[in-house]
Amino acid sequence: MDNIGSLSLALFIDLVVSCIIVLGIYFPTEKDKGYVLTFFAFNISIFLIATLFSQVEISVSLGFGLFRHLLHPSLPVRSAPRAGDDLSLYPDDPAGD
């Protein structure tokens, strides 16, 4: 984005499209208000990060890594391969689930 005006216009268009999707399609069919605010928060966050990425030259792997931590911050990062029978998300779970 060249200036704050074009960024504001793009954000406005993004929010209008998001309102159409959420309030026009999702909410009337699901009737669940719990995810509406979450959808808008993620939408704005991803829009701003994508706008930042379009302005700064970074590697693709850094971009995917940042999105992974933004969208799934609670997933552990495994540095060593696990055995085929160890499919648990948290292997140190005391309940043994």
Q: Note the pLDDT tens digit of each residue in 2-15.
A: 688 888 999 999 99
| Ranges of each domain in the chain | 4-71
- 53 pLDDT band, cuts 50/70/90, is confident
47, 14 contact by CB (below 8 A): yes
Instruction: Quickly count: other Cβ atoms within 10 Å of residue 39's Cβ.
Output: 14
CB atoms within 10 A of CB 34: 7
Q: What is the pTM of this model?
A: 0.56
